[in-house]
Structure 1
């Protein structure tokens, strides 16, 4: 394991983020708080992920002693519109239909925060979906229930394997944590 000289907290219930950070060699504890994920309406879509990651980090401000906390938020942006987590089956279907045969951006914002320092950054990856059939969309939603995923899909799941033609950028950003940037930021933190 990487020997990071301070206790590390990952503020995320996402098993995907936990696995990525663990696979990068870091020891950490998972500690989460409920944070309202609203943002000002006039926030440019490309700034939302950073805004929310920082907002999540701010929730830990007074609790930190020697620890460093990592918070993150991932959004899917299609034509300047943000696709959040689907509310139900119909919402997931609508999102996947809108992504079918189109290019979109996945932006993951990250906040690394200690008692006296904070770094906020993001990473963007272009994702290209093939034309998805109704059967493929129905199969995916029924079997993978992507209700906890921005844009109603997980790139590491079946739909990513059969539906994504290519990406430009980091696969890990789409999964939910740009591990290379987090690693570099922690080394210099």
Structure 2
């Protein structure tokens, strides 16, 4: 599988794993200390070939993703779930621990940022669905993130990603319905 865009990852081990999964070039951020030179490199890559952000499904990975989104608009995003990125012996979490199949699936389920996003799902919709506040909110957001391929988020991030990736009301409602049905099984 040949990828035209350049994939942004956190480190060398991630690059090695990506190259096992697909034929692609990478830019390494060298962890969460992403600097101006790296952002400039990502900006140039976005202008010439396009960029896919594939960071670890943890706080530092999400921080890197957010910094890139704020500084380099229009990137594509691929998401791994935490369960897909845990080391075999349970020590470590990251892209480098994901299977080749999971990396390929994440890259096939890309989400593209929209430069002028329109809010289709309101904050109140998320509250009414029990995705913000309440005892099941976190587990519902986790499952919704898997179904919509937007990764795990807190409530505020969920609202932002639904808008940023232009998830339609219909897509949201179908995924939410599945989440709620799974709770009652």
TM-score by length of 1: 0.34
TM-score by length of 2: 0.35
Normalized per residue, the structure richer in helix is 2
| Larger relative contact order (Cα-Cα within 8 Å, sequence gap ≥ 6) | 1
Normalized per residue, the structure richer in strand is 1
